Structure formats: C-alpha cells, structure tokens
Amino acid sequence: MEKTKVNMNTPVAKIIGVSLAILFLMLVIALIVNLVKLGAVNSRKESLAAQNARLERLIQSNEDMIEYCNSTEFVEEFAREYLDMVYRGETVIGEE
C-alpha cells in the first residue's frame, strides 16, 4: 500500500482546517454557555430547597396549631376566656 500525503496548501485543505477550527470554537462557546446555565440552575435549586424547608416548617407549625385548636384544653380555655362560660355548679370569683 502506498501512503498519500495531503498537501495542506490546497484550498480544500485550508477550508477543512478553518471549518474544524470554527467548529471547535463553537463547541467551546457552547460548553461555556452551558456551564453558566448549569451554575444558575444549581443556584436556583438551592434557593428553592431553602424555600421548601421554610414552607415545611410553616406547614408543621400550622398543623401543630390546628391540633391544639382541636384539643379539649383549647376549647375549654376559649369558652372560659371569650364566651364567659363555666361548668355547672362552678362559681366564678373575682369578676372584672
């Protein structure tokens, strides 16, 4: 087999070389753009995770409050304080 040597001075070889250089440059630019986008997405993900944690705490706090409001302790306290209710036979001392 005979090896052929490509002459780099021909116009076709120059076009191929320039095309490859442009393609490589475009790939590098695309990589940089995607890395920047990835950084922004990761930052947004962290922000959303923090917001999610805050909302989970708020939900838990509200669930605790709902549970307390459904308790007999709360109902009795509310009835005594805001509705001036007492048990039968109970005497209130020191009315304001």
What CA–CA distance (Å, rounded) separates 64 from 58? 10
* pTM of structure: 0.53
CA distance 68 to 15: 78
- Residue-wise pLDDT for 30-61, tens only, equals 999 999 999 999 999 999 999 999 999 999 99
- Structure tokens of 87? 């048990």
Q: How far apart are CA 56 and CA 40, in angstroms?
A: 24
Confidence class of residue 85 from pLDDT cuts 50, 70 and 90?
A: confident
- 26 vs 30: CA distance, rounded Å: 6
Confidence of residue 73 (pLDDT cuts 50, 70, 90): very high
Distance between CA atoms of residues 39 and 62, nearest Å:
35
